[in-house]
Amino acid sequence: LVETHSRRPTRLLAILRAVQARYFHIPNQAIRLLSKELNIPTTRIIGVIEFYSFLHLTPRGRYDILISDSITDHMLGKHNLMDYLSNKLSVSPGSVREDGLVSLDNTSCTGMCDQGPAGLINGHAITRLDRPRIDAIAQLIDEQMAVEDWPKEFFEVGDNIYQSDLLLSSRLTAGQGLQSTFARGLKETLSEIDHSGLRGRGGAGFKTAMKWRFCAEESEQERYVVCNADEGEPGTFKDRVLLNSYADQVFEGMTICAALIGAKQGFLYLRGEYLHLYHKLENVLEQRRQSGLLGNNILGKDMNFDIEICLGAGAYICGEESALIESLEGKCGIPRNRPPYPVSQGYLNKPTVVNNVETFVATANIALHGGAWFAAKGTEKSQGTKILSISGDCLRPGIYEYPFGVTIRQILADCGAHDVLGVQIGGPSGTFISNQELDRILGFEDLATGGSFIVFNSTRNILDIVRNFTDFFAHESCGFCTPCRVGTSLLKKQLDKIVDGHGSAGDVVALEELTRLVKNHSHCGLGQTAANPIIHTLERYPDLYQSQLKKISYEPGFDLNASLETARRMANRNDAGAHLAQVEE
């Protein structure tokens, strides 16, 4: 294994994934051996294993089942299905069955919100779970049939494209964008990207041409291109579709970027949940090599460039670009201090452009059609189109592309959403809007989004939604900085206390204080946005929170009287004065 990966410590994650696939965990012996062969301390290897949720120090079942905990899966009945699955297989969530055959657990959103309830079996995406499918799975496990031989329809992942515009209706074929780039000239192509007004489609919206220019102007000559295909925001799955059906355009955009900034190596960081795309993408890369679109002397020009695919291992934080770079280097995905930004010190501290999948597809098309073609759509501040992943309470969950400036009302009409209570735009870290705001528009000047668009109808309980999102952040916090590590857990506890009916007026004030603390003092975007679901719903539905409160001055978040039991025993007291009682007003 080590030889296959050229003894590169940066490939640690890939090596650990392979060890785990073989032994269902990473045995101590393997850790010691890898430490010696790769010259990495065992403590660092153990740290990496503990960091990624798909890697394990203790054995998992030979059939390791993870069920998505995304809010959309809950809306589709995940809770009952999990109970059913658990009974059927005689294994509780979070454990391994005694015979070691099967393990079951929850996992964060797997990017299948348009075809859930979904999960992963030995890393392979499984969709549209229902009771008959679970019965069949249980039988296949009893028969100990290899997952590779299970019915193909269990693993079918549809694109579900319902609305196409500039990018999704593009007919660009392999090499076209690159040929236009060379024909027009490198500087001229960068100017076209500039004139297109393209801003990064991951959500932050930094101008793409500016990022590429900064990187190209660095004095260090060793430069890298990285495609961030780690879309982990619950409700986002449009990169899955782009990689499945538009992979050539993704790689074309990366290659154009390499030509413009002078990079020789690129990486596609693919989220671990999209394992099913790995071989397909490798095949596309191989075809491009054979067509002279990757490798040495690309299209007969003085350009050498290739792309490597790196699989993540279940860490949402790796969608943050500096955490992603750390992960690419074979480390824990802990966000770096910024500045310096990746354009000057990225992968191996060399200048690196990191853009997301949709951005690279857009650049490939702009290189072919020109900046004006792209800028003709959208608004003055948000040019071009945006691809959305729509899920939740609507008739046609799937992929939709719109020019920026489209109203939320229009989108809801197109996807068949009725009786709308609210929409979560941009995933849990984005914005929750109520049904009074449906004339707001999609765009950087109003509602920016990386692509997640979750619809909730009036049968949904907003506090259940907020609880799910808050749990998600507490689970995904990387633990590096205290305001986020502790703060997200406190947010969860405080919210649970209120929603479970143990809160008093002071608890809402404390919750608001906590949201400010986590937002203002966290190290990276995860912590800075983790309180958004609470903040946005507190602003819009203050009465909802108030209605959960008890008419008491204060109730502790835990049983204070019971926790004094040890002290009472030690003091040999059991009189009234040694007990506390909460008095209703």
Residues that bind ligand SF4 (CB under 6 A): 317, 335, 477-481, 484-485, 522-524, 526-527
Which residue, 366 or 478, has its beta carbon nearer to ligand SF4? 478
Please state, in angstroms and rounded to a whole number, the distance separating the CA atoms of residues 108 and 473: 10
Q: Three-class SS of residue 432?
A: strand
To ligand SF4, the closest distance from the beta carbon of 530 in angstroms equals 7
CB of 125 to ligand SF4, least distance (A): 25
Alpha-carbon distances of 217 from 178, 209, 272, rounded to whole Å: 21, 12, 33
Comparison of 307 and 313: residue with beta carbon closer to ligand SF4: 313
User: What distance in Å separates the CA atoms of residue 285 and residue 65, rounded to the nearest whole number?
Assistant: 30
For residue 538, give the nearest of 499, 487, 489, 490 by alpha carbon.
Answer: 499
Q: What is the rounded CA–CA span in Å between residue 235 and residue 231?
A: 9
Measured from the CB of residue 204, what is the shortest distance to ligand SF4 in angstroms? 15
Strands (DSSP E) contained in 201-288 are 224-229, 265-270
| CB 234, min distance to ligand SF4, A | 16
Task: Using the minimum distance from each CB to ligand SF4, give the nearer residue, 77 or 479.
Answer: 479
Could you give the CA distance from residue 347 to residue 167 in angstroms, rounded to a whole number?
29
Of 458 and 520, nearer to ligand SF4 (C-beta) is 520
Write down the least CB distance from residue 337 to ligand SF4, Å.
10
**Minimum distance between the CB of residue 477 and ligand SF4, rounded to whole angstroms?**
4
The length of the chain, given as a count of residues = 585
Provide the minimum distance between the beta carbon of 518 and ligand SF4 in the complex, in angstroms, as a whole number. 8
Strands (E), 415-531: 420-425, 431-434, 452-457
Looking at 246-336, list the stretches that DSSP marks H as alpha helix, in order from N- to C-terminal side: 247-261, 278-290, 321-328
Cβ nearer to ligand SF4, comparing 442 with 524 = 524
CB of 431 to ligand SF4, least distance (A): 19
Q: Which is nearer to ligand SF4, 409 or 521 (CB)?
A: 521
Closest CB to ligand SF4 among residues 38, 524: 524
Task: Give the Cα separation of 156 and 436 in Å (integer).
Answer: 38
Distance between CA atoms of residues 477 and 481, nearest Å? 9
| Residue pair 109/68 in contact by the 8 Å Cβ criterion | yes
Smallest gap from Cβ 229 to ligand SF4, in A, equals: 20
As a three-state string, the secondary structure of 482-498 is HHHHHHHHHHHHHHHHH
Minimum distance, C-beta of residue 339 to ligand SF4, in the bound complex (Å): 16
Nearer of residues 31 and 334 to ligand SF4, judged by Cβ: 334
Q: What CA–CA distance (Å, rounded) separates 384 from 390?
A: 19
Nearer Cβ to ligand SF4, position 522 or 537? 522
Query: What letters, b where the CB count within 10 A reaches 16 and e where it falls short, cover 178-195?
Result: bebbbebebeebbebbbb
Give exposure, 110-122, as e/b (b: 16+ Cβ within 10 Å). bbbbbbbbbbbbb
Instruction: Give me the residues paired with residue 387 across strands.
Output: 401
- Alpha carbon separation from 460 to 108, 335, 378, 514 (Å, rounded): 20, 35, 33, 26
Q: Which DSSP string do the residues of 91-143 spell out, in sequence order? A: --TTEE-TTSSEEEEEES--S-TTS-S-EEETTEEE-S--HHHHHHHHHHHHT
Complex with ligand SF4: residue 51 or 456, whichever CB lies closer: 51
The answer to whether 432 touches 422, Cβ cutoff 8 Å, is yes
Indicate the residue among 176 and 322 with the shorter CB distance to ligand SF4: 322
CB of 314 to ligand SF4, least distance (A): 15
- Between residues 255 and 522, which has the closer beta carbon with respect to ligand SF4? 522
CA 519 to chain CA centroid, nearest Å: 20
Q: How far is the CB of 272 from ligand SF4 (least distance, A)?
A: 18
Residues contacting 424, CB < 8 A, separation 6+? 235, 392, 430, 431, 432, 452, 453, 454, 456, 465, 469, 533
Q: Strand pairing partners for 228?
A: 269, 356
What span, in angstroms and rounded, lies between the C-alpha atoms of 530 and 518?
A: 8
Q: Which is nearer to ligand SF4, 237 or 316 (CB)?
A: 316
The closest residue (CB) to ligand SF4 is 527
Please report how close the Cβ of residue 492 comes to ligand SF4 at its closest, in angstroms: 14
Minimum distance from CB of 73 to ligand SF4 (Å)?
23
Least distance in angstroms from the C-beta of 290 to ligand SF4: 41
Question: Is 212 or 473 the residue whose CB approaches ligand SF4 more closely?
Answer: 473
Q: Residue 56 or residue 523: which is nearer to ligand SF4 going by CB? A: 523
User: Count of CB atoms within 10 A of residue 403's CB?
Assistant: 18
The structure tokens 């020009």 sit at 301
Structure tokens at 292: 């002279």
